[in-house]
Amino acid sequence: MYQEPGGRGWNALSRTQKTVIGVVGVLVLYALLSGTVSLGRLSDPSWIIASAIIILVAFPVHEMAHAAMAVQLGDDTPRMQGRYTFNPMAHIDPLGALLILVTGFGWAKPVQWNPNNINVDVRVGTVLVAAAGPVSNLLLASVAVSLIGFAEISMLREFLGFFIFINVALFVFNMIPIPPLDGSHILFSLLPGDNFELRMFLGRFGFIILLATIYLARGIIVGPVNLIIQWMFRVFG
């Protein structure tokens, strides 16, 4: 989301932003009252540390991967906008960071790039740029899986376990083909013909669908996450 110029505070937000904030508030309240969110882990130091590392390391790596791929393909837009960096302050989205802490799913500010500047086919370039971020999360999780066997301190093993889970969850979450997630860009690039109406529909309601999925249908995400983690431990553990 982007803030419109002019005004400050609540009045500076667009109607869509206000709607999303309201929906998030209702869903968080529902999650707390229904027990969907475990408040216990919010007091777990390993979870807090893992979430902080995700926000300060995994998010910047994810967004830098998008930026680096775009730059590699010939587009300097991310560099000009200050997104070609590992500095977390250039990438943090407050709402996405909060949701990581509460739910294990979240996002950073999306990297902007110009497909007209790349030196390969636009559809191929879009897939490469979109996939670079989620793949970086899988690589981070793989490194953590390879290290967890050497962790002799229980708190460190717990931290690595949370770090693995959140990174794989970010991969699965971002591959959901609904805007503004990376999977939607891959989907639209692979679909034949004109998909303008589908783009408009998902662009209008996608954010709300995603938030509802996080709170009401977590199994759609957690199931594949557990399967990928099991596979990683067989291969890298």
User: pLDDT (tens digit, 9 = 90+) per residue, 152-207?
Assistant: 888 899 999 999 999 999 999 999 988 888 999 999 999 887 777 888 887 788 77
Residue 24: what pLDDT?
59
Q: Tell me: pLDDT of 224 over 70.
A: yes
Arithmetic mean of pLDDT over the chain? 83
CB 98 within 8 A of CB 62: no
Q: How confident is the model at residue 16 (pLDDT cuts 50, 70, 90)?
A: low
State the catalytic residue, choosing from 4, 63, 152, 197: 63
216 to 16, 93, 208, 219, 228: CA distances (angstroms) = 21, 23, 12, 9, 22
Q: Which long-range contacts (CB under 8 A, 24 or more apart) does 41-49 make?
A: 42/101, 42/102, 44/158, 45/155, 46/155, 46/158, 46/159, 46/161, 46/162, 47/162, 48/101, 49/159
Q: Tell me: pLDDT of 210 over 80.
A: no
Q: Which one-letter amino acid corresponds to residue 141? A: A
Q: Is 158 a catalytic residue?
A: no
Residue 68: what pLDDT?
97
Residue 27: what pLDDT?
57
Q: How confident is the model at residue 111 (pLDDT cuts 50, 70, 90)?
A: very high
Q: Which of 83-97, 124-138, 186-200 has the lowest mean pLDDT?
A: 186-200
Residue 105: what pLDDT?
76
